[in-house]
Structure 1
Amino acid sequence: MRWALVKVVLAVTTMVVLVFAVPLGLVVQEQAHDRAMSHAERQSAALGPVLAITTDRTQLERAVASTQAGADGRITVHVPAGRGSSAVEIGRQRVSRADLDTATRFGRASTVVVPGGYALLQPIAVSSGSLAVVEVFVPEGDMTRGVTIAWLLLGLVGAFLVLGSVVIADRLGTRVVRPVRLLADAAHELGQGNMGVRVRETGPSELRAAAVAFNSMANQVNQLLTRERELAADLSHRLRTPLTVLRLNAASLGDGPAAEQTREAVAQLEREVDQIIRTVRARRSAYAASAAAASASAGCDAAEVIRERMGFWSALAEDQGRQVRTAGADRPVRVPLARAELVAALDAMLGNVFRHTPEGTAFAVDVHSSEDTVIILVSDAGPGIKDPDAALCRGQGDGGPGSTGLGLDIVRRVAESTGGDVAIGNSVLGGTEVRVRLALRPSISGGRQRRRRPRRWGQGREIRAADGSSRPTDGTAAPGRSPYGS
């Protein structure tokens, strides 16, 4: 498109230059011719008064020498013989006798082509009553004087105009083509799965309209993928909670073949559900990162999500006699995460509390915020853990039979997507505390986000809540098995 525009402008400008330059050059050439002939006529007219008075050779030679053309030897005077006088020829004759007779017979000026230029023949009446002919030679150089320079200037001006029009057309074509190329590149990236790509609405109105339509389409596609992803996450939420209740109920059946078969069936069902969840997430893994990045640009309110999920889990907590506490969720806390991502991470941590702590165990969810960090703490009064680092390692991968590997792995992925991290430590309730740090300003190193390794939540630290209060995180938990291995 760019080169097509350049070619069109080149052709049009060239035609315009030719249409104006060629006639103008011809006019200049004609003016040079007329200027030379007018000068020759003035030279011949200067001899008219002398010829009207006398035909004496000496007087005529003196008059011819006084003119510029005569001094250069370019004037010839032909005086015919009259009554009592002979013919007089002054100067070099360049025309034929027939040309002289023709000029004398018609009595008007004429131009004759001679070797090296032109000859102007001007009849003039003499005192004897006959007609003398003054011949003025005009060299070829006088006829074309200044014409070559004029043609050269016209050519340079025309070339400059053509070159300038080509440059302007190229810049204009670049301005028009650049948005089209950006739109094509964005469409290619969108086809490769980059859901966060958008096009700047620049350029002509038609291209701006195309960019608006593309961005609207990308937003619609992103929303559709986000809805599918939320449905997949919702499938996990809907299935895990009933399975947790079913597993706890099966554990209370006591001993016996029927109870053992029930527990095995529940475990098998849980494995099958885990496999389904793994399959659904694997099929959407190609779109997850870009969709999450696009959704996270708007972010969500972590406090609102915590209140909503705590309301969801409170029914099961009430059935099991668990005391629940929530702190710091009474005011908005914006985080750079899609709502579905934060819901999945929070449900994973709360599900682990219900799965791996005895009934009646209290737990709490706190949210703390600063200018560049939001920290979510999920703590319980359970048996605690021996080795937090080992628990974090077991949170990676598949997690073995009966585990999807999506427990702490989901939490870790969500935290690291913001530049944060996950740590496990001992809570003030006496059990386990999972700390999720979400960075509001991700650290960028070398143009890429640095992936943090999960680490243990240290003791003796103090964190500040959203309401301005602070509390230490010291605490010693009783040893026991790791409740966060999946």
Structure 2
Amino acid sequence: MRRRLINSTLAVVLVVIAVFGVSLVIVETRTISNSAQERVDSEALRLAGIVDSRLLSDERVSGEVLRKQVDTDRYARIEIPGRAPIEVGTRPTGDVIRATRDGEEGEKVTVEEPRTAVTQEVGRTLLIIGGVALLAIVAAVLLAVRQANRLTSPLTDLAETAERLGSGDPRPRHRRYGVPELDRVADVLDGSAERIARMLTAERRLAADASHQLRTPLTALSMRLEEITLTDDLDTVKEEATVALTQVERLTDVVERLLTNSRDPSTGSAVTFDLDEVIKQQLEEWRPAYRSAGRAIVSSGKRHLHAVGTPGAVAQVLAALIENSLMHGGGTVALRTRVTGNQAVVEVTDSGPGVPADLGARIFERAISGRNSTGIGLAVARDLAEADGGRLEMLQGKPPVFALFLSRTPSYRDGKDGRDSKESRDGRDGMNHEASDASGGTVR
């Protein structure tokens, strides 16, 4: 493409130079020839006037007198009736420019000039025109190369960007080239790169969330199955099988929720549910693991609380906190329920060493972990809590206290302007006020 652009530009310039250059040469040649003829005519007329003047005043007309009146490169011949012709200068040979004038006293004046002077002047003019044409060609080539580079380099760069997108590197380059059409293509490629990057990020996040959220119910299910294999008591087998079926249902709910959030993270399924039932379920699931570790898990606080949210999501948040305490904490893990304003609060605490000070402000960030874990459990838990209008906070770092805030009344929205109801706003204000009064600011 670069070569075609250069050749086409050069061809246009050569055509323009050929058309206008030839015309200019013809015009200049004629102008120079006419100018030389006019000079000779003027010289002949002037010399005839001088001869007339001297004849009228009876002055002597001779070659010596007229030699001073004629240029050295010209030849003049004066013919006076009754006298011998007078010649001034050397008569040129070859092609000449000639002018003849008749005087009032009957004399005839002829002036000749060699045409070589005109040829030399035409040659100088042609040389100047040729030099200008050469400079124009050089300038055209340079301009064509620059323009070709300006157009082809961005196209090469855009092709590399498209190849990078196809090879799985979706980073936008944000390069612009000063050409509206090419900048438009660059905008489209950058927009596509950003969309691809968001899609890849969402897929990676879904995979990480799925691996983490499925691990907990699968672990609990495996513990139930182990209990079944270790007992011969039919009643115990039935009880454990019933719990295992409940955990399978929970696992199904987790999968459905992950798929729903991967399509539309804003989709919620909040309902009013019995918070005691969810806490009881978690205690039953985690007691075997805590007994195996020589620890205990208990609950206390206000009973018969109803909260608004997705029961499966709330169970996942509590499971993440309980598992976090099992892995990183120490002593007895306590789940305490209380009410603050329009919020139902579930606090999870243990007697472990707590959250390191350098991790306190970043504990809910993904990939932040203090002890070789995945670092996504608390981040996923906070996302689950916020999906239905709740909030997960770390109220205290040592000993660790994590609090899940849930609204006690449904949140209604105006269908026209999308504004929250007064109850929902009051609930969030109460939750924010509670979080601001706590002594910490994040979780592990």
Spell out, residue by residue over 1:225-247, the C-alpha distance to the aligned partner (whole angstroms, 9 max, x if none). Answer: 34543542453356334324425
2: CA distance, partners of 1:139 / 1:204: 56
Runs of 5+ consecutive residues of structure 2 not aligned to the other structure: 242-261, 284-298, 303-307, 309-313, 338-345, 357-367, 383-393, 404-430
How do residues 346-385 of structure 1 correspond to structure 2 at under 5 angstroms?
A: 349-350=320-321, 352-353=323-324, 361-362=334-335, 380-382=348-350, 384-385=351-352
Q: Does 1:67 align with 2:29?
A: no
TM-superposed CA distance for 1:178, in Å, is: 5.3
CA contact (8 A) 1:77 1:135 kept: yes
Please state how far the C-alpha of 1:352 moved relative to its aligned partner. Answer: 1.6
8 Å contact kept, 2:322–2:348:
no
Distance in 2 between residues matched to 1:47 and 1:218, nearest whole Å: 89
Provide the C-alpha distance between the structure 2 equivalents of 1:63 and 1:204, rounded to a whole number of angstroms.
76
Higher helix share: 2
Residues in 2 aligned to 1:224 and 1:165: alpha-carbon distance in whole angstroms: 48
Per-residue CA shift, 1:17-42, capped at 9, x if unaligned? Answer: 34323432342233222222221122
Residue of structure 1 equivalent to 2:100: 122
For 1:137, give the aligned amino acid.
E
Task: Give me the identity figure in percent.
Answer: 20
Deviation per CA, 1:130-149, whole angstroms, max 9, x where unpaired? x956242347336544862x
Per the alignment, residue 210 of structure 1 pairs with 185
Matched residue type, 2:98: L
Aligned-pair CA distance for 1:119:
5.1
The structural deviation recorded for 1:159 is: 5.1
Aligned amino acid, residue 352 of structure 1: E
Q: Cα deviation per residue 1:390-409 (whole Å; 9 max; x = unaligned)?
A: xx99832xxxxxxxx53x37
CA distance in 1, matches of 2:79, 2:63: 12
1:186 is matched with: 161
8 Å Cα contact 2:395-2:401 kept in structure 1: yes
- Counterparts in 2 of 1:165 and 1:197: CA distance versus 1, 3 Å: same
State how 1:4-403 maps to structure 2 within 5 Å.
4-48=4-48, 50=51, 58-61=60-63, 64-65=66-67, 67-69=69-71, 72=72, 74-77=74-77, 79=79, 85=82, 87-92=84-89, 94=91, 112-113=94-95, 118=96, 120=98, 122=100, 124=102, 134-138=110-114, 140-141=116-117, 144-145=120-121, 148=124, 150-151=125-126, 153-155=128-130, 157-158=132-133, 161-162=136-137, 165-166=140-141, 169=144, 172-173=147-148, 175-177=150-152, 179-197=154-172, 199=174, 203-204=178-179, 206-219=181-194, 221-222=196-197, 224-233=199-208, 235-236=210-211, 239-247=214-222, 249=224, 256=231, 316-321=278-283, 322=299, 349-350=320-321, 352-353=323-324, 361-362=334-335, 380-382=348-350, 384-385=351-352, 395-396=371-372
Separation in 1, partners of 2:301, 2:10:
79
Q: CA deviation at 1:362?
A: 0.9
Partners of 1:126 and 1:132 within 8 A in 2: no
User: Cα gap change, 1:313/1:224 in structure 2, threshold over 3 Å: closer, same or farther?
Assistant: farther
Q: Secondary structure at the match of 1:380?
A: strand
Deviations 1:154-211 (A, max 9, x none): 4565455555555555555455445434423422432443333255676555434533
Q: Which residue of 2 aligns with 1:469?
A: 436
Q: Which residue of structure 2 aligns with residue 283 of structure 1? A: none
> How far apart, CA to CA, are the structure 1 residues paired with 2:89 and 2:147?
65
User: Number of paired residues?
Assistant: 334
The one-letter code sitting in structure 2 at the alignment partner of 1:122 is: T
Between the aligned partners of 1:210 and 1:312, the Cα distance in structure 2 is 55
**Structure 2 CA distance for aligned equivalents of residues 312 and 157 of structure 1:** 94
Indicate the residue corresponding to 1:337 in structure 2.
none
| Secondary structure of 1:472's aligned partner | coil
